[in-house]
Every structure is written in structure tokens, then in C-alpha cells.
Amino acid sequence: MRFVSGLFLFCLGFCSLGAQGVKEVPELGKPFQASGVVGAFVLFDREADTMFVWNEVRARERFVPASTFKIANSLIGLDLAVVRSVDEVLPYGGKTQRLKAWEKDMNLRDAMKASSVPIYQELARRIGLERMRESVKKLGYGNAEIGEVVDRFWLDGPLSISAMEQTKFISRLFDAKLPVSGEAVQAVKEITALEKTDTYALHGKTGWHFEGKLGWWVGWIERDGKVFPFALNIDMPAEEDAAKRIPLARECLRLLGKL
């Protein structure tokens, strides 16, 4: 039964991702094993039209996106002008939050860095259920299902997306194939920036599905005039596993010669 379920997920992911090549890279499994975590990693080489992966079956499996959806949420909110810019301050609502750092009003620039759930929930409420539903479908984001609760669907489901789909979504962003304004795209590129050197520029967003004990790191690296989208997800049975996401993905990027 488990084999049939895995095969179904594999076929589902393959059908939704088109005909680009997929290459399993066994060496990428070493940092996962060294870290003692189960997960998947994908780097999409757009020029070669090939995805370099660890754990292909899992890389095709959809999970709740958690805070990685902040990339799409920002694009939608900015495109619909429910916020004037990434510097407009939104209220957090005054309620006690899971993290003390979230208990303050913020703009999207700061909320992206702090991964503030209440600020992005406010943004989603301003967008509204029907506009959000339509926008998520137009973006082709994962299963594109948001249910009936506009400020929880990326935290609890039903929205889900695979690591491979995450990289394709980012690729469409750079190909100007998302139905949002160029200004919104540029703003999101700006607020997701993490690191810039003489060799590369790194952008990304973490995600943590608390109930599902799952962690993400999704983003892209720019170097040599090219863009390489990537996505990592791991099981996080303990909270301290959250600290493994970025180092693990960075090691995968290093092994692939991108860092």
C-alpha cells in the first residue's frame, strides 16, 4: 500500500511539472544523513531544464507551504494594491503570538524577515477570500486549494505544494510568467534578499509547519548571470531541528557548485 501511495505521488508530481529532466544526485544525501534528518532537496537548472534532487519521490510530494507562502502572498497583495508598498505598516492585531517578535506592527519588509504570521494574516484578510482564491489559481501554486478560511490555508492546509513545484513557481517569477505586475515582482525580490557577495546573490524564505513538524527553505541563487531556484523540506520532530534547514540547504548548494 505504501509503495502504491508513493507511486501515485510520483506520477502526480511528474504530470504537473512538465517534461524537464530530473537527476538524482546521491552525494546530496550525505548532509541529510550527517544531520540525522529525512527530507528532500531540489535545485532547478533552468538553462539545462533539469532538476538536481535528493529524494525524488519526496521532492514530488506536496506539503503545506507554511511561511514560504509569504512569497506568493506578498506578490498578490502588492499586485492588488491592498498595500501601497513593502514599507506600509500593517497592524498585528494586539493578540498574544507564538513568538514575542511577532507582537508588533510591521511593514512587509520587516515581516518577511521576522516571518511574522499575524502581519501576513492581515494582508490575506485585506486581499479577501475570493480574490485570494482566484489569485492562487492564476499563480498555479501547488494544488491551488485554499478552502474557506482566508488567513489559515497556508498554515493548516488545504494548500499544499511540492519542492519541485516550489522551484517551478520561482522560475515562472523570473520568466515574467506570473500574472502580477513587474513592480510587485521586483519588490518581492528585494525583501527576500539574504546575502550578496562578489560571486552570488542569495534569496530565500523559511517555513515551519508546526502541526506537521515540517520545515522548508525555498529561494534562489543568482550567479554568472543565471538564476537557480531551490527548495528544501525536512521532517522536524524536535523544535531544535529548525536550525538545520538553512545549513543543510547551503551544503547542498555548495555540493552543486552554487555557493
> Which residues, other chains included, contact 123 with Cβ-Cβ below 8 Å and sequence gap of 6+?
73, 74, 77, 82, 83, 90, 108
pLDDT given for residue 44 in this prediction: 98
Give the closest residue to 170 by CA, choosing from 217, 116, 111: 217
Domain 2-255 CATH assignment equals 3.20.20.70: no
pLDDT given for residue 190 in this prediction: 97
> Across the chain, how many H-helices and E-strands are there?
11, 9
Number of other CB atoms surrounding residue 248 within 10 Å: 23
pLDDT given for residue 2 in this prediction: 36
> In the chain, what are the domain boundaries?
2-255
pLDDT given for residue 17 in this prediction: 52
Could you give the percent of the chain with pLDDT greater than 70? Answer: 92
pLDDT given for residue 179 in this prediction: 94
Q: Which residues are catalytic?
A: 67
239 has a pLDDT exceeding 70: yes
pLDDT given for residue 144 in this prediction: 98
When mean pLDDT is compared across 4-13, 53-62, 134-143, the lowest value belongs to 4-13
DSSP string, 201-236: EEEEEEEEETTTTEEEEEEEEEETTEEEEEEEEEE-
Query: What mean pLDDT is predicted for residues 61-86?
Result: 98
Residues 245-258 have pLDDT tens digits of 999 999 999 999 99
pLDDT given for residue 3 in this prediction: 36
Could you give the percent of the chain with pLDDT greater than 90? Answer: 91
80 has a pLDDT exceeding 70: yes
Query: What mean pLDDT is predicted for residues 39-66?
Result: 98
Backbone angles phi, psi at 72, to 5 degrees: -70, -40
Query: What mean pLDDT is predicted for residues 178-189?
Result: 96
Backbone angles phi, psi at 136, to 5 degrees: -65, -40
pLDDT given for residue 237 in this prediction: 96
